[in-house]
Structure 1
């Protein structure tokens, strides 16, 4: 594998009803990523379409919004993990030398199409809020986790979203633990402010080889995609086959360990992390499962202020969900992982951080973990 760069990213605001059709959203997000990279569509070798609510032949249909150039069009679908799965395909294709530059675009309009939730329930599986409420109740039983711990995660992410112009949820005032706890109950112990909102959106990224970046004269800080690992669930005693839409927590642990091994970095090197925090209980688990603290330490560290603003300086631990996470930034589906990439590029470029990590789950079940590094211009 040769080095792989991410030289551009763009998105439109997430929302319950994002502006325009899927085609219009694709055009806006894709154009924003191309402009950020300083290139046009004709310079690309591949277009990778990421939609969690596929309407065949969506990928080709949407690619035409940006140009008709004969390039390869690839459609990726992996439920919530679709965006990062599309980035995984781009990383593999460019890293292997098959393509020099690819545009990855995620777009979904679940409010106007059959939703993943409807599909999950139609196949007889538990809806996600119920599944993750079980995770929460189990941890509360085993670890003594409280609703205040869950609310602390949610409040942190809501407050990060206040400065994110693309976030679906933007509170006018600072969100407190008490406010989160007083919100409508969805699936005990999860209140509505601890759960991601459904919504629509689009996000995109430009992935290329170092040679392509040099050829176009790309300037400024570059971000390299150092690793990407896609992991499915493995069997263990007591394994549940019926209704397990997210797989065991160990799946994320294995994906993260593999991504760190591929990249040569360790958890202590990471400055910022974006995770699949569709429900507050997830982020608590991922502090531990991704290798950032020991099992049982997450709640105590969080209560002291770790994983939020200033965490690296105070605790040597990365900040999590800095764009508001799925809880506040929103979760359109295909664009969600690409919104994480968009935020990671922003953090590594503008906040002068060096190492970022992205993580997503996909029902079915899969987990993805990716490591990004800012390198010298």
Structure 2
């Protein structure tokens, strides 16, 4: 098995796009990633399309729109985890020697007006805000978590999004926890500013072998995809499989533990982390579940200012959701995980960080965790 690099990443702003515009959105994101890598479509030997929305045009159709024909075309769908699942597929293909250069494109834009939430509910699932409100209330009962803790997580992510030109929600002013708490109530205790705005978008990445990067003379710092792990839910007391939006929290814990073992990179060495923070309560759980602090310590560390700007220097802990997360950055579905990869590449290559971790959940339920490392020089 060989190393795997991410040498290009690109995306368009998350937001609201007209139904039927998926092809143009795909072209823009794909072109941005190829330009970032310094290559053309002719260099590719595989194309992976990541779409989580059931009404989105499928992979082969979008590949033809790009003029990408005669090579492997794969369509990946795993709900919110679709983007990282597509990266997982590319990682396996390049690592095994099957492919040399793969373009991964995440795109979600409906063919007609229908929100992601409507799709979830239409399949007989519990509405996501209600589910995660239950998570929040349970933690508040068990741990003494307060609404102020949830507001601090959300405010941090909103303020990160202020400097992200691709974020769906960009506040002109600094967002305070008080402002978050004053926003419209969605599902107690979650207010609208604690919840993802969903939306549409497109993002892409170029995944390749070390030999390919050498052959094209790639000279920028390389981002190595050190490990990827896909975990499904397992039965536990009180857990119901049928109609589950997400599995038990232990699923994320297992995925993180596995990716740490595969990569040989300890949580203490991670600089930045992107997580499935569609609701503020989730990120609070993931500080502990992904191995960055002991169970029961998250709230106290958050109160001290950990997990935000300067966290690595002050506490030896990574910064979380540095592009605004799903709460403020947006959550289109298929592109969401690729937006995390885009941010991780930016942080490692352009912001002088060394180790990044990505994490997403997918309805059904699955969890993915991936580890990335900046590597300077040729292979």
- Shorter-chain TM-score bucket reads over 0.9
Inter-partner Cα distance in structure 1 for 2:24 and 2:57: 16
Is 1:207 matched up with 2:219? no
Q: Taking structure 1 as reference, are residues 347 and 292 closer, same or farther at Cα in structure 2, changes over 3 Å only?
A: same
Aligned pairs, how many? 377
Aligned to 2:326: 326
What SS does the aligned partner of 2:340 have? Answer: helix
Query: Does the 8 A contact of 1:33 with 1:205 survive in 2?
Result: yes
User: TM-score normalized by structure 2?
Assistant: 0.97
Q: Taking structure 1 as reference, are residues 56 and 344 closer, same or farther at Cα in structure 2, changes over 3 Å only?
A: closer
Inter-partner Cα distance in structure 1 for 2:294 and 2:189: 24
Query: Does the 8 A contact of 2:158 with 2:327 survive in 1?
Result: yes
Aligned to 2:147: 147
Query: Does the 8 A contact of 1:357 with 1:372 survive in 2?
Result: yes
Query: Does the 8 A contact of 1:19 with 1:25 survive in 2?
Result: no
Cα-to-partner distance string for 1:37-61 (whole Å, 9 max, x where unaligned): 0000011000000000144862011
Inter-partner Cα distance in structure 1 for 2:212 and 2:166: 29
What SS does the aligned partner of 1:244 have? Answer: coil
Inter-partner Cα distance in structure 2 for 1:128 and 1:56: 21
Aligned to 2:248: 248
Aligned to 1:67: 67
* CA shift for structure 1 position 20: 7.6
Q: How does 1:189-338 map to 2 (within 5 A)?
A: 189-338=189-338
What SS does the aligned partner of 2:105 have? Answer: strand
Aligned to 1:187: 187
Greater displacement, 25-34 / 107-116: 107-116
Inter-partner Cα distance in structure 1 for 2:57 and 2:305: 47
Runs of 5+ consecutive residues of structure 1 not aligned to the other structure: none
Inter-partner Cα distance in structure 1 for 2:349 and 2:167: 20
Runs of 5+ consecutive residues of structure 2 not aligned to the other structure: none
Is 1:21 matched up with 2:37? no
**4+ residue stretches of structure 1 with deviation over 3 A?**
54-57, 110-116
What SS does the aligned partner of 1:301 have? Answer: helix
Inter-partner Cα distance in structure 1 for 2:55 and 2:273: 31
Q: How does 1:72-221 map to 2 (within 5 A)?
A: 72-110=72-110, 112=112, 114-221=114-221
Inter-partner Cα distance in structure 1 for 2:229 and 2:102: 19
Cα-to-partner distance string for 1:323-350 (whole Å, 9 max, x where unaligned): 0000000000000000000000000011
Is 1:360 matched up with 2:360? yes
